[in-house]
Amino acid sequence: MFIKDIELTNFRNYDILKTDFNQNVNLILGNNAQGKTNLLEGIYLTSIGRSFRTNKDSDLVNFQKEMARIKVNAEKAYFDTSVEITIKKDSKKSIKKDGTTIKKTSELLENILIVIFSPEDLKIVKDEPEKRRKFIDRELCQIQPLYYDSLSNYKKTLAQRNTYLKEEAIDNSILDLWDVQLAQYGARIITIRDQFVRKISGYSGKIHSSITNEKESLFLEYNPNIDLKDDIEEQEGYFYDEIKKSFKNDLRQRTTTKGPHKDDISFYVNGINMRSFGSQGQQRTCALALKLAELNLIKEETEEDAILLLDDVMSELDIERQKYLIKTLKENQLFITTTDIDKNLMTSFPDAKLIYIHNGK
């Protein structure tokens, strides 16, 4: 699939931007702080309805304005689609898909499929667990609306339970209402994450051995905070029991200490844990394999070639890895930002559309 064109109005540092895109490669060029990442952010927003760098929608509206709008038209394997998002500083955003306003953000999912790869992602192996959970959540939300709903319900319930745990007097029957819900949503999250990590491990393993000329073998392991059970019902019952067991501890710490909000994943190369023992180059290769694996997984689940946003990432990779990337990404629409006119990039993509950004124009 590919995005045909975009229209940004009062989005970040843009007043009005209207442009069409190349079906294959788009090189977005400009000095620092001109609006390159902002443009990628606008594009990304149309996939899951939220930004990859802020949770506050109002940040997306131009400082001087009250309302922002993002519109894209895209072409997919079997039909065309359009997405229009309107963000007002003082109220909820509204989203139109194919001209019709949708009620829940989850209705937007599985429509425009986008993977973003930024220098932040290169650190995913050694970063704190929260970053890896975010990665899993972001990817799963795109391809599984059920996951999106379970996750947002889990987060809401968790926040309410944690607020309640800070009160003076705790009524067990009230707490139990949240425990039941946490177990229900949490069990779904754990089960879906387990399947996801298995699949992505298979794909990234293959890509990783190809990048390393079969010298190294990558394996991803899911480390759930609550032990895995065979099926979702058993998982729910077990998680519920675990919440009950940790009640005293939760009360002492005044927060929910057990659950998928504490999950992690580990990367092993030739059996060695990359977070503790990987060289920087090895950690980056794992990250690259993981990102490319996402594209494979999306293809498997949706039959679509996802759009790939590469924000300042080319210059962070050595020539060998750059070449690998270029060689593998023939089918995907690419948006690549860079600050300098990179001769290598220009010759690698002779037919690319060049988009020069200067001060939001």
- Tell whether residue 33 is among the known ligand binding residues: yes
Residue 348 interacts with which of ligand ATP, Mg ion, none, CB < 5 to 8 Å by class: none
Contact call for residue 90 and ligand ATP (CB under 6 A): no
- Tell whether residue 32 is among the known ligand binding residues: yes
Residue 305 interacts with which of Mg ion, ligand ATP, none, CB < 5 to 8 Å by class: none
**Residues engaged in binding Mg ion (CB under 5 A):** 36-37
- Tell whether residue 36 is among the known ligand binding residues: yes
Q: Using CB under 6 A as the criterion, what x/- string covers residues 336-355 for binding ligand ATP?
A: ---x----------------
- HEC letters along the chain: CEEEEEEEECECCCCEEEEECCCCEEEEECCCCCCHHHHHHHHHHHHHCCCCCCCCHHHHECCCCCEEEEEEEEECCCCEEEEEEEEECCCCCEEEECCEECCCHHHHCCCCCEEEECHHHHCCCCCCHHHHHHHHHHHHHHHCHHHHHHHHHHHHHHHHHHHHHCCCCCCHHHHHHHHHHHHHHHHHHHHHHHHHHHHHHHHHHHHHHHHCCCCCCEEEEEECCCCCCCCHHHHHHHHHHHHHHCHHHHHHHCCCCCCHHHCEEEEEECCEEHHHHCCHHHHHHHHHHHHHHHHHHHHHHHCCCCEEEEECCHHHCCHHHHHHHHHHCCCCCEEEEECCCCHHHHHHCCCCEEEECCCCC
- Tell whether residue 42 is among the known ligand binding residues: no
Contact call for residue 16 and ligand ATP (CB under 6 A): no
Query: Based on CB atoms, which residue is closest to ligand ATP, 49 or 360?
Result: 360
Query: Based on CB atoms, which residue is closest to Mg ion, 28 or 95?
Result: 28
Contact call for residue 42 and ligand ATP (CB under 6 A): no
Query: Based on CB atoms, which residue is closest to ligand ATP, 15 or 234?
Result: 15
Query: Based on CB atoms, which residue is closest to ligand ATP, 63 or 78?
Result: 63
Contact call for residue 33 and ligand ATP (CB under 6 A): yes
Restricting to residues 47-76, name those near ligand ATP by CB under 6 A: 59, 61-63
Q: Which residues bind ligand ATP (CB under 6 A)?
A: 12-13, 30, 32-38, 59, 61-63, 312, 339
